[in-house]
Amino acid sequence: MSDNDGKKTLGLGGSRPSNVKQSFSHGRTKNVVVETKRKRVVVPKPGAAKPTAKPTGPIGGDPSKRPAGISDVELERRMKALANAKAREAEETAKREAEEKERAAEREARRAEIEAKEAEDKAREERAKAKADEEERKREEAAKAKAVADAPPAAASVPGETAVSRPTAAPRKTDRGSDDRDKGGKSKPGRGGDDGRRSGKLTLNDALTGREGGRQRSMAAMKRKQDRARAKAMGGSVEREKIFRDVALPEAITVSELANRMTERVADVVKALMNNGIMATQNQTIDADTAELIIEEFGHKVVRVSDADVEDVIQAVEDKPEDLKSRPPIITIMGHVDHGKTSLLDAIRNAKVVAGEAGGITQHIGAYQVTTDSGAVLSFLDTPGHAAFTSMRSRGAQVTDIVVLVVAADDAVMPQTIEAINHAKAANVPMIVAINKIDKPSANPDKVRTDLLQHEVIVEKMSGEVQDVEVSAITGQGLDNLLEAIALQAEILELKANPDRAAEGAVIEAQLDVGRGPVATVLIQNGTLHQGDIFVVGEQYGKVRALINDKGERVQEAGPAVPVEVLGLNGTPEAGDVLNVVETDAQAREIAEYREKAAKEKRAAAGAATTLEQLMANAKENENVSELPIVVKADVQGSAEAIVQAMEKIGNEEVRVRVLHSGVGAITETDIGLAEASGAPVFGFNVRANATARNTANQKGVEIRYYSVIYDLVDDVKKAASGLLSAEIKEKFIGYASIKEVFKVSNVGKVAGCIVTEGVARRSAGVRLLRDNVVIHEGTLKTLKRFKDEVPEVQSGQECGMAFENYEDIRPDDVIEIFEREEVERNL
């Protein structure tokens, strides 16, 4: 190995080093000069030891080219380590190549053995066929001889003539029972022969029907019996023709599943594994390389697949133009909170939904279908307008065809209005502006149109392309015009879908119902969902047990653009998941398990610190941060998601809210146990705790709070988190005093004779000593005297004596600054 290689391995920075020069003077190293492409650095080496001898040979190398600061012993140790590493690497490479060659030779030997076996089987079949032809010919000759012998002789009745004995024909084998008789002609016991014995168990059905003879043989069994008889007559057993298959092989597979995919017996697969030195039962998992070896040993072909290939059954099928049919439009009502979105939808539906909402605001996505007077069917989605429900509004914009932006005429454009505009633009869907509350005296629709110009929404009355309609949810004014505008926009879009295919839809909302289990509100986007369909949705799967429309009626199917509640899930899906119908329950389970595993790995990777630096950084970051842990349970998935997102926004660099667990459904004893272990309160949003959970909470002192309006919950959490903030300390200057003279008093020390020039001097206040406007000491007063008396305070213009606590470096003309500290409570 050359010196350059040594430099590359052991040089500065781990890469090819720059030219390193060392100069020797009287056996002592002076300076080390390191030349790089960018700059020249001189590193002084004072006190370097005098080398005893110049190293020579391949290990020592030229001293002038050796990196600085490395002794002969260290260099020799490094070179030996490098040589050992290279030797090990070469040895491992040779070992791997030998193993690959050996494995290839084994495969070739197996293939040759299989081919030889096939050739032998073919030759045996030809021999058996020739033998069968020969026996058939002999049988025909015997039959002819028998026919001649059976003919009646003419002289048989002549007395005194000797009768000629005939050859007795061999008993002919029949299809049933002949194989079950032994040489003596008796039926074998227990085999259901001709003696009428019953074969198999006596069932109630056989006893009642009086059927004799036991179970009836199937056609396949009779054919197999005939094949065995024919093979026995030929003098040898005929093996079935082996079918070689393409076996899909994932990264890991159980032994029983491998045998099933190869259509081989599990015992044979286990035996093959044992022959290869692997002791595994049918329920154990083996890796892909081992499984590939076994598959090739049985003669099958390996097709490697990844875990993600299980989702290939869900394929986007391109619909033919002739299969597409018109579907109802999906309209999403969006806008700021309390601008009248739900009231407007109530007026269209002639229902009173807003009366049932807590606080008069919508906190779920409502999905409704409305039939207008003209017969047109419209599907409406009502989204919440509160700031916390950003994700719900985003989902509503993604699954919709038309967005109706509701703006109050007496309130104009607000923050959630702007957010709804951004969601609609991001989803690239057309927008219709509904200017609501036009019946109010303070209504100013022109101000709404003008404010929308700032956000690039130009309505038709301002010479734009966006339709705008003035409506009133209270009086019903303009509702017909709004429906006409929606119908016109839907006609322009030419919305079509294929109802005759597997259903695909989006989960609008999901909840855990006490009586019905997990329930998902799904908007069908393509195809038709039937009762009994097997589906997968996100990390959950199930079979459609029931479909319920927006009126609470059970239906048998749901076509495109129809919102329905789906019952029959194995768990509560996430809002926004996509529902796909698959063929079998096994496919649905496999896809759901793969998605759950992938999501778990993703969450683990996101929350894990992989390096020591990250661990230390996280520990340092969390060192001075106070946490408020909470447990959240909500009635639906969308509300739980909105609450968690709102909690993440509460806090600053000193305090933050940590959601230990969020879920859907009633508060259970498990939630109370988690809260008790972490010292956290439990917040229930439109849900209640069951009796067991209430008793446990009372025993363990866990606080449970119930809410029905989201901003009440957010405000309470903010107040609780504010209590963790340290109080802010504010200083209030109350006076200044100037030192006129310094006296030395026994048992006291130096005392400053002062005059209060401004404000007041207090005994309990803090003081700073200023010299030439520079703070040289900060502390407290040891004494404050007026004449000979200790006083609590001295007013401006009066003289006094002051002595500092543990400080005596005071001089005339110094200034004493007097201040008080007060704590100010902080809020988030």
Q: Which residues have a Cβ under 8 Å from the Cβ of 346 and sit 6 or more positions away?
A: 352, 353, 354, 473
pLDDT digits (tens, 9 = 90+) for 539-551: 899 999 999 888 8
Q: Would you place residue 27 in the very low, low, confident or very high pLDDT band (cuts 50, 70, 90)? A: very low
For residue range 575-611, list pLDDT tens digits in order: 788 888 988 888 888 888 888 888 887 777 665 555 5
Cα 135 from chain centroid (whole Å): 71
pLDDT at 24 over 90: no
Write out the H or E segment, with its range, that includes residue 724: none
Tell me: pLDDT of 773 over 90.
no
Mean pLDDT of 228-234: 78
What gap in Å lies between CA 415 and CA 591, rounded to an integer? 40
Q: 575, 393 in Cβ contact below 8 A?
A: no
Determine the longest span between alpha carbons in the chain, in angstroms.
Answer: 181
Lowest-pLDDT choice from 24-28, 71-75, 650-654, 732-736: 24-28
Rounded Cα distance between 762 and 245, Å, is 98
Q: How sure is the predictor about 232, in pLDDT bands with cuts at 50, 70 and 90?
A: confident
More confident residue, 320 or 607: 320
Looking at residue 169, what is its pLDDT? Answer: 41
Write the CA distances from 385 to 332, 415, 566, integer angstroms. Answer: 12, 10, 26
pLDDT of residue 730: 80
3-state class of 390 per DSSP?
helix
| Averaged pLDDT, 733-760 | 89
pLDDT tens per residue, range 408-452: 888 878 888 888 888 888 878 888 999 888 888 888 888 888 888
Low-confidence winner among 36-45, 100-109, 120-129, 798-807 (lowest mean pLDDT): 36-45
pLDDT in tens, 488-535: 888 888 888 888 888 888 888 888 887 888 888 888 888 899 999 999
* Site of tokens 């030891």: 49
- Nearest Cα neighbor of 478 from 439, 448, 506, 442 is 439
How far is it, in rounded angstroms, from Cα 180 to Cα 185?
A: 9
Give the whole-angstrom CA distance, residue 821 versus residue 412.
46
- pLDDT category at 63 given cuts 50, 70, 90 is low
755 has a pLDDT exceeding 90: yes
Q: pLDDT tens-digit profile of 761-771?
A: 988 888 999 99
Q: How many whole angstroms separate alpha carbon 115 and alpha carbon 643? A: 68
Indicate the range of 101-105, 198-202, 688-692, 726-730 predicted with least confidence.
198-202
- The confidence score (pLDDT) of residue 549 equals 85
Per the CB < 8 A criterion, the answer to whether 546 and 515 are in contact is no
State which of 17-21, 58-62, 187-191, 477-481 shows the largest mean pLDDT.
Answer: 477-481
Given this model, what pLDDT does residue 452 score? 87
SS3 160: coil
Which position has the higher pLDDT, 44 or 819?
Answer: 819
**Would you state the pLDDT for residue 68?**
67
599-603's contacts with Cβ under 8 Å and 24+ in sequence apart are 599/539
Least confident of 177-181, 644-648, 686-690: 177-181
pLDDT of 737 reads 93
pLDDT value at residue 4: 46
The band of 757, judged by pLDDT with boundaries at 50, 70 and 90, is very high
Share of the chain above pLDDT 90, in %: 12
Average pLDDT over residues 18-37: 46
Question: Three-state SS for 365?
Answer: coil
The pLDDT of residue 180 is above 50: no
* pLDDT at 235 exceeding the cut of 80: no
Residue 130, pLDDT above cutoff 50: yes
Chain-centre distance for alpha carbon 669: 26
User: Rounded to an integer, what distance in angstroms lies between the CA atom of residue 50 and that of residue 71?
Assistant: 11
User: Which helix (H) or strand (E) element contains residue 567?
Assistant: strand 563-569
> What residues have CB less than 8 Å from 259, skipping those under 6 apart?
265, 266, 268, 269, 282
pLDDT at position 535: 92
- The confidence score (pLDDT) of residue 267 equals 93
- pLDDT at site 270: 93
Look over the chain and give the mean of its residue pLDDT values, rounded to a whole number: 77
* Predicted pLDDT of residue 17: 45
Alpha-carbon distance of 342 to 383, in angstroms, equals: 9
The contacts found for 199-204 with CB under 8 angstroms, 24 or more apart, are none
**Can you tell me the distance from the alpha carbon of 615 to that of 621, in angstroms, rounded to the nearest whole number?**
10
At 475, the pLDDT band (50, 70, 90 cuts) reads: confident
pLDDT tops 90 at residue 397: no
More confident residue, 815 or 210: 815
Q: How confident is the model at residue 359 (pLDDT cuts 50, 70, 90)?
A: very low
CA distances from 444 to 245, 339, 404, 431, 437 (A): 75, 14, 19, 21, 10
Residue bearing the bigger pLDDT, 95 or 188: 95
Mean pLDDT of 654-662: 85
* pLDDT for residue 83 is more than 90: yes
Q: What is the pLDDT of residue 462?
A: 81
From 16-20, 362-366, 373-377, 643-647, the region with the lowest mean pLDDT: 16-20
The 10s digit of each residue's pLDDT in 237-289 is 555 667 888 888 887 888 998 999 898 999 999 999 999 888 889 898 888 88
For 235-250, the three-class secondary structure string (H helix, E strand, C coil) is CCCCCCCCCCCEEEEC
Give the pLDDT band of residue 81 (cuts 50, 70, 90). Answer: very high
Whether pTM exceeds 0.75: no
* CA–CA separation, 112 and 13 (whole Å): 56
- Cα–Cα distance for residue pair 389/643, rounded to 1 Å: 8
